[in-house]
Structures are given as C-alpha cells and as structure tokens.
Copies of this chain bind each other. A is one copy, B any other.
C-alpha cells in the first residue's frame, strides 16, 4: 500500500474558551490555555491509493494544494480560531478538536476515501493524528 504525504504551514490565534462559562470558570478549567495565544500549525495531509499509471502519482499535488488552500488556509491562516470561525464556540480549539475539524473539511472536499490520515502539530512536541477507520 502507498501513502503520500504533503505538509503545509499556517499561523493562527486561539484560546481555550467556552462562551457559556465565565472568565473565572474558563481560567479554572483551561489554565494558561484560556489566555489568547497562537501557533505555527504544521499540517500533514496523507492520501492512500494506487499511482495513476500515466502520471505515476496517487494524487495530483496541484489539486491537493488547491483543496488545502480553499478548505484550510483560507479559513485558518492568519485568523483567530475563536472569533473568525464557527467551529469553537461551544468546544475549545484543542489540538484534538481542531484536528477533527480539519480532517472533516478535507475529507468532504476530496474524492471519497482518498484521505487516509492527517497529523496536526500545535508545537513540535505536541500533535494529533486523525486516522480513517478501516471499513
């Protein structure tokens, strides 16, 4: 089996913060993460499949980058994850939650079953993998 991975980078602002909680409650639950901070996110996008006999590629990288540009970069790069998107109003933008959103956005935009895995680095020492369940 072949898996091809392309990594991209973007920069976002965020805080772990639930609108339904007071400032004191957010700080108690999330500690320093409840304060506004930011990350250089590194995102690895992995697709699985058989290379096209004509091009020798599992996926056209130009197309993959266009999808990533539209679905990920345009939404999250140089944006505030809390204020500028609807994904983290009732759930905080932890790496787990953010990676789940990223996987879903890419999976819906790519051909069925092509996306195999994403890895999202919040820092070089902390990351999350979302892996497609085998059918």
Q: A1-B130, A16-B56 are in contact. Are A123 and B11 (CB under 8 A)?
A: yes
* Minimum Cβ distance to chain B for residue A81 (Å): 9
Residue numbers in B under 8 Å from A124 (CB-CB):
7, 40
Asked whether A2 and B55 contact (CB < 8 A) given A36-B84, A38-B38, the answer is no
For chain A, the count of residues having a C-beta within 8 Å of the partner chain is 59
- Contact indicator A96/B127 (Cβ below 8 Å): no
Q: What's the nearest-Cβ distance from chain B to residue A98, in Å?
A: 9
Chain B positions within 8 Å of A12 at CB level:
37-38
Using a CB–CB distance below 8 Å, which chain A residues touch chain B?
1-9, 11-16, 29-30, 32-33, 35-40, 46, 51, 53-58, 61, 77-80, 83-84, 91-97, 99-100, 123-131, 133
